Amino acid sequence: MVSRIWHGWTTPENADIYENLLKTEIFPGIEAKDVKGYRGIQLFRRATGSEVEFITVMWFDSWDAVKEFAGEDYETAYVPQSARTVLSRFDGRSQHYDIKAKIDY
């Protein structure tokens, strides 16, 4: 299993707008790609003073599934234009990790 992690930051005024955009447009758009081996996405949010940080963690069965989602240059971040308008800054590249253990509680 592979995890794809990405960070983006916005202003406190745009944070709710961005979160809503993720939930109503971007996440459904990712689902609609119907990538075989895509297992879901998690969203994390925290205020960090003058910014609000968002982290997304995507789960894939394999590196092939990651490449099907993101292309051969799979580290390139997937940031639609609608998101770019409300983000202050973001990672241009996503980080990927092999999952070596998973414990469910």
Tell me which amino acid residue 28 is: P
| Residue 59 structure tokens | 């789960």
Could you tell me if residue 86 is inside a domain? yes
CATH number for the domain including 48? 3.30.70.100
pLDDT value, residue 105: 85
pLDDT value, residue 103: 84
Averages of pLDDT over each 10 residues, the chain, 105 residues:
97 97 96 95 96 97 96 92 95 96 84
Could you tell me if residue 84 is inside a domain? yes
CA distance 90 to 72: 21
Could you tell me if residue 42 is inside a domain? yes
Beta strands in the chain (DSSP E): 2-10, 38-47, 52-60, 89-90, 95-98
pLDDT value, residue 14: 97
How many separate domains does the chain show? 1
Domain that holds residue 58: 2-98
pLDDT value, residue 38: 97
Could you tell me if residue 75 is inside a domain? yes
Could you tell me if residue 105 is inside a domain? no
